[in-house]
Structure 1
Amino acid sequence: MWRHLSIFILLFALSASSALAEDAQLAALFRENNVNGTLVLSLLDGVTNYTHNDARAATPLLPASTFKIPNTLIALDAAVIKENDTLKWDGTNRSVAAWNKDQTLESAFKSSCVWFYQELARCIGAARYESQLARIGYGNAKPGPEPTSFWLEGELRISALEQVAFLKRLYRRELPFKSSSYELLQRIMIVEQTPAYTLRAKTGWAGYGNQAAPQIGWYVGYLETNGNVWFFALNMEMTKPADAGLRQKLVMDVLKQKASMYR
């Protein structure tokens, strides 16, 4: 119910906004960088919205590591991890150097450490995921029977519009989690913080390491400035490794243009 209500409200706000039409500045940024993707940018109140590629914005895709946002809350709720707990590295050398060491919740979130969250997922289990995803209305809420990879290659899907709606509920603390869990997640999501603004976000890359799979890059989060909160969700086709940095670059360029993040 929450999922459908949140998406209806966001779609209504977008349809009522003059910004629903293809935004020229956003389109130019995607074109200049030769990127096929979408971006949704929305103020907390939903009155001001900007979009690029409306059809793709409504298309559900694998969330990849952006799922670490709700997954962190689910793991804390299930008490399978605590803030200062450390999981020991098993000694297996993986493709990302930052993964090849012991991990805390914060280090694993910031480095997008797959094995750490897979260990948590084994403890959480498929049944709990099924009930929790339905409870919080995340995407299509379909984890499937395999609890350790459904956000990377399973049935779970979420659109850019749904990501923004979910992030707004997260920000308003409308999800059924403890205040301490919210506060921990807010802290580890921080990417950049200055006296003028705080940026919280998470990257994702569906298909990473599997060239036979569609390569989908994500960057989702929100920017708190003096008096405003802007929510964003970008996804794009990843055609080469160098595209990884474009996820953040495009969002930051848009925030500078639309959200006046440096004022």
Structure 2
Amino acid sequence: MSQFDIVLVRFLLASLASVAAGLTVWALCLLLRRLLPALAMQRTGWLLAQLTVVAAFAVTLVPQQQRIRLLPPVDIEAVDAAVTRYIEPARPAAVMAVPAPPADAAGNTKSSWLAALALCWFAAYVAGLGWHTARLWRAQRLLRQLAASGSPAPIGDNGVPVIEVDAAVPPMLLGLSRPRLLIPRHLRAFDPAQQRLIVEHELTHWRRRDVHWMLAGVLLQTLLWFNPFMRLLRASLLWAQELGCDRDVLRGRPAQERKAYAAALVAQLKLQCLPVGTALAFGGVSVETVKARVALIRTPASAAHGARVRLAAVAALVATGFGSYALQPALAWQGAATPAGVLHCLALADAATGQPLLRQGQCDARVTPASTFNIAVSLMGYDSGILQDEHAPRLPFREGYPAWNASWRASTDPTEWIHNSNLWYAQQVATQVGVPAFQRYLDRFGYGNRDTTGDAGADNGWRLSWVNSSLRISADEQVAFLRRLVNRDLGLSAKTYDMTSRLLKIRTLANGWDVYGKTGTGSPVGPDGKDDRAHAYGWFVGWAVKGNRTVVFAHLNQDQQEQADAAGPRAREALLRVLPAQLDAL
């Protein structure tokens, strides 16, 4: 499955996640409204409810840090593989294959039902979004035309232009920066006191900035037009705005004026015939909401606990939003946290032309570079003058440095660093390079995803981003990076290329090829936030030279169960056993 297909699948799952979040949020709001009836009058809760649903949609779209997930990751490729057939890419019969996982976990997708479904849904979403946007634009155009057909109303100056129109519409407020109040001509038949209250209602909307709140609700509903709960939440937001205006307009008024106001609501609902969805209208949302508004006008709800209601609503929605994020299954994205045994790649390419000579397996899957990143650190160190030659500088080991291997607890020079994959030595070089230059080098190298943020909230990017953390790279990207290295196309000094090559020399094969390379051992991050060593990644990347011919290679294997020895050296030895035959067959 291509990266574009994965993006489409992620969009499909994000859409489903938003519907699930909408159901949860709507049920929570109904419960809170029953326990705290005053919640219905609070705009904040309903708009935050819509934002929570949109957030659930958004967090599924973006790659997430696996260390803070509560559910195990879902591998998109593995789901697709369960219902589709894979075919082995063609290769010359004389070329020997490196031992790999079962055939159904490697190769290319012959057909992808999941990708096809995701593409169909994306096309439907775009069409639906276009239709709803056009509908919104038509409604706005209709209201503008209606306002243009009217004339100034004989009502006192209220700071907002009042336009009288000959149409059976409710009084409504239009415009974000230049408000206009539209009132129907039939309003002249109302009692003058009722007219004043109606106008005051709409002006209160403007003072409360309800037009802006309404626009936010409209835009959020349009964005997730397919989600029925967004429509319900927006209707509740409009209802809360009307209730809030009723409360503010009638605060402190006598019972006679309250009765007249309620009668105006009912009378207006009987007279209007044009539905309004993009403006704030005095007539209310529906017959049911008008009934509820009249009941609250007769028996006002106490607003003494409004702050507590807002706090309860915000706290519940924040908890729901965080739960949606934490309980959202993290999706495998470019090789992140892939299930056991599904990752294998062997890629060889001609260094001069870039022509692929062999490509088996999932070579576009990104995983941690682990110690293969020492190649990049070596280039940084020599180019910056921090590293001098094969044996200088020799740095002393200090307590507190990583000491996962016994060989690390000793003074170390560049040769020993590369040979022993010494993490603390690489960290000391990276520290002297400095964070800004470190990032600039990665950008110049085009190294993987170039993400040096490290673990979420840990501020350890310069020390650990390349060890089972944020920095990831695929075998294809390793090959591209190594091609630029051997072609001396990274904008570095000649000494940098020469010294790095000396450190990486492995051996000369029996058929005369000189092999340079670096191993790496890493792990996916499990659902508990810990490294899953039972499914370790083993890297061996580098190049082979014979005469005027240079071939770059990247070999990646993933374990299916925990092994006593490191996965990187095993990947190296597996490839070196068959590499002479591979190279001779090219």
- Scaled by the length of structure 1, the TM-score of the pair is 0.80
The answer as to whether partners of 1:41 and 1:233 remain within 8 angstroms in 2 is yes
Counterpart of 1:102 (choices 398, 406, 411) is: 411
In the TM superposition, residue 102 of structure 1 has moved relative to its aligned partner by: 0.6
1:212 shift after superposition = 3.4
1:175 is paired with a residue of what secondary structure?
coil
2:505 paired residue number: 190
Cα distance, 1:67–1:243 mapped onto 2, change above 3 Å? closer
- Cα drift, residue 158 of structure 1: 0.9
The Cα shift of 1:125 comes to 2.6
Q: Identity over aligned residues, as a percent? A: 24
Given the alignment of the two structures, is residue 228 of structure 1 paired with residue 537 of structure 2, yes or no?
no
**Does the 8 Å CA contact 1:64/1:152 hold for their aligned counterparts?**
yes
The C-alpha deviation readout for 1:228-259, integer Å capped at 9, x for no partner, is 22211011113323463430133223312220
State the one-letter code of the partner of 1:260. Answer: D
Matching of residue 159 in structure 1 with residue 159 in structure 2: no
**2:502 partner amino acid:** R
Q: Which residue of 2 aligns with 1:254?
A: 578
Q: Select the residue among 75, 78, 90 that pairs with 2:381.
A: 75
Of 249-258 and 147-156, more deviation after overlay is shown by 249-258
Amino acid at match of 2:465: F
Give the Cα–Cα distance (whole angstroms) in 1 for the partners of residues 365 and 555 of structure 2: 12
Q: How do residues 1-263 of structure 1 correspond to structure 2 at under 5 angstroms?
A: 21-23=89-91, 29-30=99-100, 36-44=343-351, 45-47=353-355, 49-53=357-361, 56-83=362-389, 84-90=392-398, 94-144=403-453, 146-193=461-508, 196-207=512-523, 211-212=531-532, 215-238=536-559, 239=561, 240-242=563-565, 244=567, 245-260=569-584
Q: Note closer, same or farther for the CA distance 1:228–1:121 as it changes in structure 2 (3 Å cut).
A: same
TM-score, normalised to structure 2, is 0.38
CA offset digits 1:15-47 (Å, max 9, x no partner): xxxxx9244755573259x96511101222334
Instruction: Write the distance in 2 (CA, Å) between the matches of 1:52 and 1:242.
Output: 25
How many angstroms apart in 2 are the aligned matches of 1:248 and 1:75? 25
More deviation, 34-43/175-184: 34-43
C-alpha contact (below 8 Å) 2:98/2:574 kept by paired residues: no
Aligned counterparts of 1:243 and 1:132: Cα–Cα separation in 2: 29
Contact 1:192 1:199 in 2 (8 A): yes
State the distance in 1 between where 2:547 and 2:384 align: 35
d(CA) in 1 for partners of 2:363 and 2:416? Answer: 30
State the AA in 1 paired with 2:550: V
With over 3 angstroms needed to count, the CA separation of the structure-2 counterparts of 1:75 and 1:100, relative to structure 1, is same
Equivalent residue, structure 2, for 1:7: none
Q: Give the counterpart letter for 1:21 in structure 2.
A: P
RMSD (CA atoms): 2.8
The CA distance in 2 between the partners of 1:232 and 1:26, in whole Å, is: 15
The higher radius of gyration belongs to 2
Give the Cα–Cα distance (whole angstroms) in 2 for the partners of residues 68 and 22 of structure 1.
33
Q: Deviation per CA, 1:130-157, whole angstroms, max 9, x where unpaired?
A: 1111122111112125201111133111
Question: Alignment length, in residue pairs?
Answer: 239
Aligned equivalents of 2:441, 2:367: Cα separation in 1: 19
Q: Point out the structure with the larger strand share.
A: 1
Alpha carbons of structure 1 residues 194 and 52: separation in structure 2 relative to 1, 3 Å = closer
Structure 1 residue identity aligned to 2:89: A
Secondary structure of 1:107 counterpart: helix
Partner Cα distance (1:215, 1:167) in 2? 23
Q: Secondary structure at the match of 2:466?
A: helix
Specify which structure has the bigger relative contact order, considering alpha-carbon pairs within 8 angstroms and separated by 6 or more residues: 1
Q: Structure 1: how far apart are the matches of 2:356 and 2:428?
A: 40
What secondary structure sits across from 2:501 in the alignment?
Answer: helix
Residue 251 of structure 1 aligns with an amino acid whose one-letter code is L
What is the Cα deviation at residue 49 of structure 1?
Answer: 1.0
Q: How far apart, in 2, do the equivalents of 1:121 and 1:133 lie?
A: 12
2:167 corresponds to which residue? Answer: none
Contact 2:350 2:356 in 1 (8 A): yes
Shift of 1:99: 1.5
Q: Give unmatched runs, 5+ long, in structure 1.
A: 1-19
| Deviation for aligned residue 1:74 | 0.9
Tell me the CA shift for residue 75 of structure 1.
1.8
Higher helix content, 1 or 2: 2
Cα distance change, pair 203–96 in 1 and its aligned pair in 2 (3 A)? same
Change (3 A) 1:169 1:253: same
Q: Which amino acid aligns with 2:555?
A: L
Task: Specify every segment of 5 or more residues in structure 2 that has no aligned partner in the other structure, as ranges.
Answer: 1-87, 103-339, 454-458, 525-529
Distance 1:211 1:152, change over 3 A: closer
User: Structure 1 residue 104: deviation in Å?
Assistant: 0.7
